Amino acid sequence: MIYFDHNATTPVDPRVLAAMLPLFAEQCANASSGHVAGRAVARLVEQARGQVAALVGANRRNVVFTSGATEAVNLAIRGVLAGAGSPRRRILVSATEHKAVLAAAAQAVSIHGGTVGLVRVLPDGTPDLDHLAASLSSDVVLVAVMAANSETGAIADVGRAAQLAHGAGALFLCDVTQAAGKIPVALDAGEIDLAVLSAHKIYGPKGVGALLASRRLQARLTPLIVGGGQERGLRSGTINSAGIVGFGQAATIAAAELAADADRLRRLTALLHHLLTEKLDGVALNGPTVTRLPNTLNLRFVDADADAVMTAMPQVAVSAGSACQGSSTEPSHVLTAMGLGATAASQSLRFSLGRPSTAEEVQAAVGHVVSAVEHVRALGAD
C-alpha cells in the first residue's frame, strides 16, 4: 500500500509510541491522584502541555486537552456563544471550513440563538477577505477561518482575517489542525483568540487534541462535559495521559523537523504533479499554486470519476475529499464553494504525502494513477 492520505491521519511515529508505552503499564496512575505516582504522571502531562504550546507558539497555560480537534471546536464555538451577551449572536465562518466547524456553529445557534453567515472563498480556495470585511457588523461574536485547508492545502491570511474580526469587536477562531507541523504557526502574536489542533495529524495518537485559549477566554467558556473539573473545569473526566504524552512528543518532533519535512515534501509533491500532468491529459489543479501546504495536491482528472479511479487502484490510498465526509456521496463542499460544479468536484482526488513518503513511492503511485484514470476514461467512452 502506498499511503498518500496523511491529511486524513498519520501513522504514529515510533518515537511517539516509545514515549507513550510506559503510561500503559508502570506509569499508569491517574494524573489527578494526589499520591507520588499520580503526581509523576501529572508532571508528564504538564510537560506535554508545554510541548504542544511550543509547536504553535503559544503559552502552555493556554492549552486545554480534549479528545480531538472536533471536541475542541465544539467547546470553543458553543462555549463562546453560550457566554455571549446580546446583541452579539452572529457567527461568521469560511465556506470551506471543516465540517466540525460548520456543524458546531449551526448547532450553537440552534441551542443559544443567533445566526451563522458564510464567508465566500476565491477560486483558489483562499478566503475572500473583502467579503469577510463586508459581512462584519456589531452583532458578530465570532469569526472562524482555518489556517490551512485539508482538501486543497490552501493557506489563509489569518493575520488579516483576525485584524478584520477584532476591528469589529469579534473574537477570532482558527483551526490550525492541518497547518501545525507543516508550516510555522505563532499563536502568541496576539492575532488568534482561540485555536484547535489534533495529535493524529502530526504523527501522534488518535483521540487527543487541544483547544488553545487565554485564561481570560477560558473563564468565559461553558464546558460541554462536566464532572470532576479536570482541565480547569472545561473538560471533566480522567485525562488520557498516554495520549497526551504522545501528543507532546509528536509536537516536539514536528517542531524540530518542520523545515526539513516541508522542503522534502514540497519537492515530492511537485514531482507527483509534474509526472501526472506529463503522462495524462485533462489534469487540473484545485487550489493555489503557491500558497499551499507543502504536502498537499488536489487534482481533477477530467472524465474520470474519483471513486471509480480509487477503486481501480487499490494499491494507492488517496481521498476524494476530507475524511470527515465519511461515506457521503455528496460532492466536496470545499470544491463546490470554490466554484467547481458537482461533476468536476466528483472527478477530483486529494494526494497528501507525509514523513514516510519517498520518491520511489511517488514514481510507483504515478503508474497506478495513470492506469486507473485511463481505465475509467475508457469505460466511460464505451
Question: Catalytic residues, which ones?
Answer: 324
Give the rounded distance of the alpha carbon of 147 from its chain centre.
8
Give the rounded distance of the alpha carbon of 306 from its chain centre.
22
How far is 64 from 212, CA to CA, in rounded Å?
6
* Strand, coil or helix: 300: strand
Q: Are 200 and 243 a contacting pair, CB within 8 Å?
A: no
How far is 56 from 122, CA to CA, in rounded Å?
27
DSSP classification of residue 7: T
What is the pairing mode between strands 140-144 and 90-94?
parallel
Looking at the DSSP bridge assignments, the partners of residue 235 are: none
DSSP classification of residue 207: S
How far is 360 from 111, CA to CA, in rounded Å?
51
How far is 116 from 170, CA to CA, in rounded Å?
14
* Contacts of residue 152, Cβ cutoff 8 Å, sequence gap at least 6: 96, 124, 125, 286, 287, 288, 292, 296, 298, 334, 335, 338, 350
Q: Cα angle at 241 between 238 and 245, to 5 degrees? A: 160
What is the pairing mode between strands 296-301 and 348-352?
antiparallel
Q: Cα angle at 229 between 226 and 230, to 5 degrees? A: 110
Written as nine digits, the cell of 348 is: 477530483
